[in-house]
Amino acid sequence: MDFATRAIHAGQDADPSTGATITPIFQTSTYTQQGLGDNKGFEYSRTHNPTRTALETCLASLENARYGLAFSSGMAATSAVLSVLRPGQHVIAGDDLYGGTYRIFERVLRPMGVDFTYVPAGDVAAYAAAMRPETRMIWLETPTNPLLSLVDIRAVADEAHKRGITVVVDNTFASPYLQKPLDLGADVVTHSTTKYLNGHSDVIGGAVLTSDEQLYQEMKFYQNAAGGVPSPFDSWLVLRGVKTLAVRMRQHCENAMRVAEFLSGHPLVRTVYYPGLASHPDHELAQRQMAGFGGMVSFAFEGTREDVDTFVRHLRLFALAESLGGVESLCCHPASMTHGSIPAEEREKRGVTDTLLRLSVGIEDADDLIADLDQALASVAAKHAAASSEREKAGAATGAR
């Protein structure tokens, strides 16, 4: 069955006890058992819940995985993957990571004796060069956040598998509609379902998908042991969101391309980061590795942090907010918001400057979105014009004296 069909049907047969077409919200903590050791596969909802099982089955199907695990947040999903690490082991990660991922690596795992090396995200040779006998895992994000460069998943996986290293891909930015890391050789996929999978900015959630039986057993054990599971209602919301993933992603891609093209031609914009642009350094890899270029567009201002502030204050449709992947458009200033936990020097070194903005382009009408960006940019130009006429007046006054 095709992706769009599985998104609506996988794991979601009619409820056997009532015929309910839509998977019910099984809002229960416990399950009545028939006799000692005799139950219907459910005992306690931290361990199993039927609404969560439906979600896990559906997400596994969408990533072409054998197994799925759902969590109460993307970071809880990340923790489950990291739980397989032991002191003395080593992880290699791309250097353009989600801020929270960097934080858990450095502030939680490093103090527990796990070592991390960051390499330029797109540089396959750098991953190979950083490998050590104790390297257990490679952590990739592609497209990267917020600079939207790409990592060649297959090339890194080939290098890693020569040494038995596990490759994890955080597939949040692409969604399985646009990219299937397991098909490209990765061992584990993680998601913040908060983003495109749920798609409506009303849930915090996460997921881990894999076809590796042993890794699955370890992470399933951790899910039950640590308990970071999603509620039945949140599981149901994500399951509902996923039904429209295919149509949403197509529209996100179309709108983002329009926005990227508009920004590319604007005099107040220095650089546009969007893999769909022919000028993007990873455009060719994006065409090979992804089924579309995604809904995220970043751009750097030709100007100051103050100009960026003027711009965001004048936006009407784009909300200044963290997060991404919802039907509504958002604008984020990574340096002060999502990437605020990365030290300033480290941040600047990675290109996450004070004048960088990241757009999550929603599925509103593209013309309306472009008009909004256009009028907010015009407000910056107007402020510049006013300031320069002030300077002229002041200059004229001085000259007259």
Ligand X SMILES: *Cc1c(COP(=O)(O)O)cnc(C)c1O
Interface residue with ligand X among 26, 67, 98, 293 (CB under 6 A) is 98
Nearer to ligand X, 67 or 71 (CB): 71
Residue 200 contacts ligand X per CB under 6 A: no
Binding mask 159-198 for ligand X (x = CB under 6 A): -----------x-xx------------------x-xx---
Residue 75 contacts ligand X per CB under 6 A: yes
Active site residue 98: yes
Residue type at 108 in one-letter notation: V
Binding mask 19-58 for ligand X (x = CB under 6 A): ----------------------------------------
The DSSP code sequence of 105-170 is IIIIIGGGT-EEEEE-TT-HHHHHHH--TTEEEEEEESS-TTT-----HHHHHHHHHHTT-EEEEE
Do 268 and 308 form a contact (C-beta atoms < 8 A)?
no
Active site residue 127: no
**Catalytic residue from among 6, 195, 347, 350:** 195
**Catalytic residue from among 95, 96, 152, 170:** 170
In this structure, what are the phi and psi dihedrals at residue 137, rounded to the nearest 5 degrees?
-150, 145
Active site residue 288: no
Active site residue 170: yes
**Closest by alpha carbon to 313, among 375, 384, 385, 386?**
375
Residue 74 contacts ligand X per CB under 6 A: yes
**Catalytic residue from among 6, 95, 96, 98:** 98
Residue 206 contacts ligand X per CB under 6 A: yes
Q: Which two tokens stand for residue 319?
A: 């909300």
* 127, 78, 325, 204: CA torsion to nearest 10: -170
Burial of 16 (0-12, 13-18, 19+ CB in 10 A): exposed
Nearer to ligand X, 12 or 172 (CB): 172
Binding residues for ligand X, rule: CB under 6 A, are 73-75, 98, 100-101, 141, 145, 170, 172-173, 192, 194-195, 204, 206
